[in-house]
A and B are shown apart, each in its own frame.
Chain A
Amino acid sequence: MSPRPGFVLEVDRSTPQTLFWRGEGFGLERLPVGSRVIYGPEPLPALRDPDAAIRHALDHPLGDSAPLRSLLHAGMKLTIAFDDISLPLPPMKSPDVRQRVIEAVLHLAAEAGVDDVVLIAALALHRRMTDDELRHALGTRVFDAFAPHGLLLQHDAEDPANLVDLGQTDEGEDVELNKRAVESDLLVYVNINLVAMDGGHKSVATGLASYKSLKHHHNVRTMRASKSFMDRHHSQLHTSNWRMGKLIAQSGLKIFQIETTLNTDTFPPEMRFLQRREWEWTARDRASFLATSKALERTPPELARRIFHSVRAPHDLTSVQAGEVDAVHDRTLENVFRQQIVPVEGQTDILTMGLPYICPYNVNSIMNPILVACLGLGYFFNLYRGRPLVREGGVVIMSHPTPWAFNPVHHPSYIDFFEQVLAETTDLLEIESKYETAFATDPWYVHLYRTSYAYHGVHPFYMWYWCAHALEHVGKVIVVGGDRAAVRRLGFSPASTLADALEMASDVVGRDPSITHLHTPPLLLADVQ
């Protein structure tokens, strides 16, 4: 049976309750009659022989590019950069896509006799990956061949000896990149395009850049002008990255881009009910749901977190293309849209969403309140093309326990941001002008970013800027089931139940608002007319 496309359900009296994610747990909520629920398309079938597809892509590149085989020769300097731990979500089960692609590339490199090969995790200002995480992403074979010899690097954006300034774009944006990547004869980038925001020129221009470069597009003004950042033709974030990409190409750096897309088969078989439409749950699904949600209620949060973060998604390759960046990315986006697009008519007064336990920045970690805001108002709010799902001045209701808890190893600067900066103000421009530089240059955060597994000092600011478009657009934000003090600190309103939240929303949108629920994960992209 071919996978069904996504669709918008109109809730009526026969509709069963809807699944709402609540961090490390989920529940059922009854949405009022007349609400809409947006369901994503069913997962497309994965490629039957992914390795063959990869080999084919490497031999038949798109755009103005020669096959990879002919670009490799003995004595050259080859660098392979790959997406870091923030993709895919949830982490894939073995073998990871990066493992497959990099092994295929190294196969050709070994055949051609290339000796000088370096692998770089393109993590920009994210945290370094642990050995286990690298082993999972690259596979034991690649890890054991490169890591012991010091040839598996993690991009260090605060190492002046390893950064090269390539100049400025027409708009005065600095481009400063990883030195090893720039000085290679060939840079191969291995990307996973989970959502339409990823990939293209953004891979190298952001992934291998430094703070000096990033602040030109990771700022409030740019994020407010990105409507949305899932739609690169209407996104200032992407326009800026594309300009940088052009400069990079002009500087002579040869990039062989390999992009892959995944289907939305997000959950393993025992959690299949999370993926299915509620009225299609079999008896087994219903029993699973009951057992799991009851068990999770009694599980201490730390254990629940560990259980969830050990979930490995069965999503797999639906397409792979390689060659010149622009041509490759266009084809990639076609494939992303093929899997994720859901046409939606009209905007809504209230947008509800259940936030899961994971976002790109808390893999194997705690989702702190700032990341909750980023996931809800940054990512989920912006899962649209055309117009935002919720009308201007509408209300966003998110459900997540929002614990006042931080992982001090991964997110040290987030704790200070929450305790000091947000305690004073939640206004984006004030935060940007008053505090960003101090956090970005604080030697303690730089030390932790470079030597420990911490996100860069400026990263919580970027999380807050990610919400810029939503905060400007929306009238009120309500968090259901969240820690009251934490929610208030974020500047949102806490509510105990969805009913209370809808009641609180009526102050803003009136007594009879239209409600739309975003049933994600699995991922989708709403095409709002």
Chain B
Amino acid sequence: MKALVFERSLPRFAAARLASAVAGSGHGVGVGPLELLEVDPPRLPGPSWVRLEPRLAGICGSDLATLDGRSSRYFEHVVSFPFVPGHEIVGDVTGGALDGRRAVLEPVLGCEARGIEPPCAACAGGHKGACERIAFGALAPGLQTGYCSDTGGGWSASLVAHESQLHEVPAALSDEAAVMVEPAACAVHAACSTAPPSGASVVVLGAGTLGLCTVAALRHFCLPGTLVAAAKHPAQRQLAAELGADQVVEPAEVMRAARRLSGTLALVTDAGRIERLAGGVDVVYDCVGSPESLEQSLAIARPGGDIVLVGMPGMTRVDLAPLWQREVRLRGAYAYGAETRPEGTRSSFDLAFELVAAARLERLVSAAYPLERYEEAVAHAAAAGRRGSVKIVFDLRRKSRGRTPSEEAE
């Protein structure tokens, strides 16, 4: 079967890094370690494993960072080569309880998938993202499907999944909506695990997929006082407003908007530019993950406020003096788990399904490419904001294979 394979090749990794630095993000694919190869489908690692044939597979920011050669060295031990990238997957299941039906993959490979008994404390509590055994067990190391050499990944015609990883897709939900469930689940986890107190002033920096899903999740599951979203591109601003932001501003206006929102005094340079706020907003969700966005978050978070890092950051140099002096809490929000809700504990994925349907997040899927045009797809994903797009996916549905669920339902 055809698959995009990421080989371990240091020279190609370096070439990709150079190319992306020179030509811009997403342009290192041609010289990088990613190649379209004809490979055998992965074997089932054991019982309770089923085959999953992807219909749509998304391209995520962390995938782009890996392809650019920019991902942090932290991940070296939790990735096994060669692997097939792609962890935002909706596909058809063959075998097991959901045989013949569509399912969304929860990519985290926790204790259960790795066949480790008894499961670690995190997995037992439903917080698979915090699993302590991700480099151990029956499978090769890999924190998620899409970074593991034994499981395959979404950017191929077939992969294997543990039954515990699959969530059935209701018939009424389209493929596009289903492929948004995984990023929505990340956003749901960020919003619910570090929920702002009711009536709090919230700023969301970044309006890519994750930023927009975070805005939607905050609006749907929490009760923020005023929600301000900072978006660079007009299409993103439009969507942020539709998904529930009270105010949408450009990145250059964030400081002033935050000042007006919190009604505080500010510390300015001689030229009148606001350097930091004396007070600040209650919670800042940083969905960009760059040194500049982190610096900006520290400048606008109030003393005792929260900064939640939702997007994957890399090696960053940042002045932590404001963090210390203002007693700001800096937290990471990774993947998903179980969220405590007023109605009880529910998994992030369940809430994500709810969010996708309620906020109609399928409109965030802007373009679909076949595997063969992967270079264009990656370049588009890297420049998504500028090109008025949000989420780019690979379309792996074969015309001969079958009809779409909506057709089947008729």
Interface residues of A in 387-427 (CB under 8 A from B): 407-410, 412, 415-416, 419-420
- Chain B interfacial positions (CB closer than 8 Å to A): 247, 249, 253, 256-257, 259-260, 263-266, 268, 270-273
> How many Å lie between the Cα of A286 and that of B268 in the bound state?
46
Given known contacts A420-B260, A444-B264, A412 and B249 CB-to-CB distance under 8 angstroms: no
Asked if A447 and B272 sit within 8 Å, CB to CB, the answer is no
Q: Top 8 closest A-B pairs, CB basis?
A: A408-B272, A409-B272, A444-B265, A419-B253, A416-B256, A416-B260, A408-B273, A447-B265
* Residues in B neighbouring A416, C-beta threshold 8 A: 256, 260
Additional 19 contacts, C-beta under 8 A, given A420-B247, A443-B265, A444-B264 = A407-B272, A408-B268, A408-B271, A408-B272, A408-B273, A409-B270, A409-B271, A409-B272, A410-B272, A412-B272, A415-B256, A419-B249, A419-B253, A419-B256, A420-B260, A442-B263, A444-B263, A444-B265, A447-B265
Q: Which residues of A contact B268 (CB under 8 A)?
A: 408
What CA separation (Å) do A110 and B268 show in the bound complex?
Answer: 43
Rounded to whole Å, the gap between the CB of B258 and the closest CB of chain A is: 12
Tell me the A435-477 residues at the B interface (CB within 8 Å).
442-444, 447
Report how far A407 CA is from B272 CA in the complex, Å.
8
Contacts of A420 in B (CB 8 A): 247, 257, 260
Tell me the smallest distance from the CB of B19 to a CB of chain A, in Å: 35
A406 → B minimal CB distance (Å): 9
User: Can you show 16 pairs from A to B with CB atoms below 8 A apart?
Assistant: A408-B271, A408-B272, A408-B273, A409-B271, A409-B272, A412-B272, A416-B256, A416-B260, A419-B253, A419-B256, A419-B257, A442-B263, A443-B265, A444-B259, A444-B264, A447-B265
Shortest beta-carbon distance, B302 to chain A, in Å?
15
- Report the bound CA distance from A412 to B272 in whole Å: 8
Q: How far is the CA of A420 from the CA of B247 in the complex (A)?
A: 9
**When the two chains form their complex, are residues B272 and A444 in contact, meaning their CB atoms are under 8 A apart?**
no
Q: Which residue of A lies closest to B249 (CB)?
A: A419
Return chain B residues, CB-CB under 8 Å to A419. Answer: 249, 253, 256-257
Bound-state Cα–Cα, A416 to B247, Å: 13
Which B residues are CB-close (under 8 A) to A444?
A: 259, 263-266
Q: How many A residues touch B, CB cutoff 8 Å?
A: 13
The chain A residue sitting closest to B252, CB to CB, is: A419
Q: How far is the CA of A407 from the CA of B270 in the complex (A)?
A: 12
Q: Tell me the bound Cα distance from A412 to B247 in angstroms.
A: 20
Give the distance to chain A from B267, nearest Cβ to Cβ, in Å.
11
Distance, CA A408 to CA B256, complexed state (A): 11
Q: What are the residues of chain A within 8 A of B249 when measuring CB–CB?
A: 419
A38 to B171, CA, bound (A): 74
Q: How far is the CB of B225 from chain A (nearest CB, A)?
A: 16
List CB contacts (< 8 Å) of A273-309 with chain B.
none
Alpha-carbon gap, A416 to B259, bound state (A)? 10
B266 — which chain A residues lie within 8 A by C-beta?
A: 444
In the bound complex, residues from chain A placing their C-beta under 8 Å from that of B273 are: 408
B272 nearest in chain A by CB position = A408
Minimum CB–CB distance from A449 to chain B (whole Å) comes to 13
A412 to B256, CA, bound (A): 10
CA distance A412 to B268 in the complex (A): 11
User: Would you give the shortest CB distance from B70 to chain A, in whole angstroms?
Assistant: 33
Residues of B within 8 A of A442 (CB): 263
Q: Distance in Å from the Cβ of A416 to the closest Cβ of chain B?
A: 6
- Docked Cα-Cα span, A416 to B257, in Å, equals 8
- Kindly provide the distance from the CB of A17 to the nearest chain B CB, expressed in whole angstroms: 39
Complex Cα distance A310/B270, Å?
22
Look across to chain B and name the residue whose beta carbon is closest to the beta carbon of A419: B253
Question: What separation, in Å, do the CA atoms of A420 and B255 have in the docked complex?
Answer: 13
Q: In the bound complex, how far is the Cα of B266 from the Cα of A419, in angstroms?
A: 18
Closest chain B residue to A420, Cβ basis = B260
A325 to B: closest C-beta gap in Å: 38
A415: chain B residues within 8 A (beta carbon)? 256
Q: How far is the CA of A420 from the CA of B266 in the complex (A)?
A: 18
A420 to B273, CA, bound (A): 18
List the B side residues contacting A409 at CB < 8 Å.
270-272
Q: Which A residues touch B263, using CB under 8 A?
A: 442-444
Shortest Cβ gap from A461 to chain B (Å): 15
Give A444's nearest chain B residue, CB to CB.
Answer: B265
CA distance A442 to B263 in the complex (A): 7
Q: How far is the CB of B186 from chain A (nearest CB, A)?
A: 31
Closest CB-CB distance, A448 to chain B, in whole Å? Answer: 8
* Whole-angstrom CA separation of A442 from B259 in the bound complex: 11
Q: Which residues of A are found within 8 Å of B271, using beta-carbon distances?
A: 408-409
Question: In the complex, which residues of chain B have a beta carbon less than 8 angstroms from the beta carbon of A447?
Answer: 265
Q: How many angstroms from the CA of A408 to the CA of B265 in the assembled complex? A: 15
Instruction: Tell me, in angstroms, the Cα distance from A407 to B268 when the chains sit together.
Output: 13
> How many angstroms between the C-alpha atoms of A407 and B256 in the bound complex?
14
How far does the alpha carbon of A410 sit from the alpha carbon of B272 in the complex, in Å?
Answer: 8
Docked CA distance A23–B383 (Å): 38
CB contact list, A147-181 vs B, under 8 A: none
Q: Which of A410, A416, A419 has the most CB of B within 10 A?
A: A419
Closest chain A CB from B86 CB (angstroms): 40
> Chain B residues near A407 (CB, 8 Å)?
272
CA distance A416 to B271 in the complex (A): 17
Whole-angstrom distance between the alpha carbons of A408 and B249 in the complex?
18
Within the complex, the shortest CB–CB distance from B269 to chain A, in Å, comes to 9
Question: Which residues of A lie under 8 Å from residue B265 when comparing CB positions?
Answer: 443-444, 447
B259 contacts across to A, CB distance below 8 A: 444
The CA of A444 and the CA of B259, in the complex, are separated in Å by: 9
Residues of A with C-beta under 8 A to B272: 407-410, 412
Report chain A residues within 8 Å CB of B256.
Answer: 415-416, 419
Distance of A434 from chain B, by nearest CB (Å) = 13
How long is the Cα–Cα vector from A416 to B270 in the complex, in angstroms? 19
A396 to B47 alpha-carbon distance, docked (Å): 79
Minimum CB–CB distance from B311 to chain A (whole Å) comes to 25
Nearest-neighbour CB distance to chain A for B271, whole angstroms, equals 7
Cα–Cα distance between A420 and B258 once the two chains are bound (Å): 12
Q: How far is the CA of A416 from the CA of B266 in the complex (A)?
A: 14
Chain B residues whose CB sits within 8 angstroms of the CB of A443 once the complex forms: 263, 265
Q: From B250, which residue of chain A is reached at the shortest CB distance?
A: A419
- Bound complex: CA of A447 vs CA of B270, how far in Å? 15
CB distance from B160 to the nearest CB of A (A): 52
A442 to B261 alpha-carbon distance, docked (Å): 12
- In whole angstroms, what is the CA distance A419 to B260 when docked? 11
Least CB distance, B249 to chain A, in whole angstroms: 7
B248 nearest in chain A by CB position: A423
The distance in angstroms between the C-alpha atoms of A430 and B131, with both chains bound, is 55
| A404 vs chain B, min Cβ distance (A) | 11
| Chain B, Cβ-Cβ closest to A454 | B272
Nearest CB in chain A to that of B266: its residue: A444
Closest to A406 in B: B272
Residues of chain A lying within 8 A (CB to CB) of residue B264? 444
Closest chain-A Cβ to B272's Cβ sits at a distance in Å of: 3
Give the nearest-CB partner of A408 in chain B.
B272
Q: How far is the CB of A446 from the nearest CB of chain B, in Å? A: 10
Task: Across the interface, name the chain B residue whose C-beta is closest to A411.
Answer: B272
A442 to B265, CA, bound (A): 9
Minimum CB distance partner of B253 in chain A: A419
Minimal beta-carbon separation of A169 from chain B (angstroms): 34
Output the least CB separation between B262 and chain A (Å).
Answer: 10
- Quick one: closest A residue to B247, CB to CB? A420
A408 to B264, alpha carbons, bound, how many Å? 17
CB distance from A144 to the nearest CB of B (A): 26
- Residues from chain A with a CB closer than 8 A to the CB of B260 are 416, 420
**What is the minimal beta-carbon distance from B158 to any residue of chain A, in angstroms?**
50
User: Which of chain B's residues has its CB closest to A412's CB?
Assistant: B272
For the complex, what is the distance from the CA of A90 to the CA of B257, rounded to whole Å?
Answer: 35
CA distance A394 to B257 in the complex (A): 37
Q: Distance in Å from the Cβ of A306 to the closest Cβ of chain B?
A: 15
CB proximity of B30 to chain A, nearest CB, Å? 37
**Nearest A-chain residue to B263, judged by Cβ:** A442
A282 vs B247: C-alpha distance in the bound complex, in angstroms?
Answer: 57
**From residue B118, how far is it (CB to closest CB) to chain A in Å?**
56
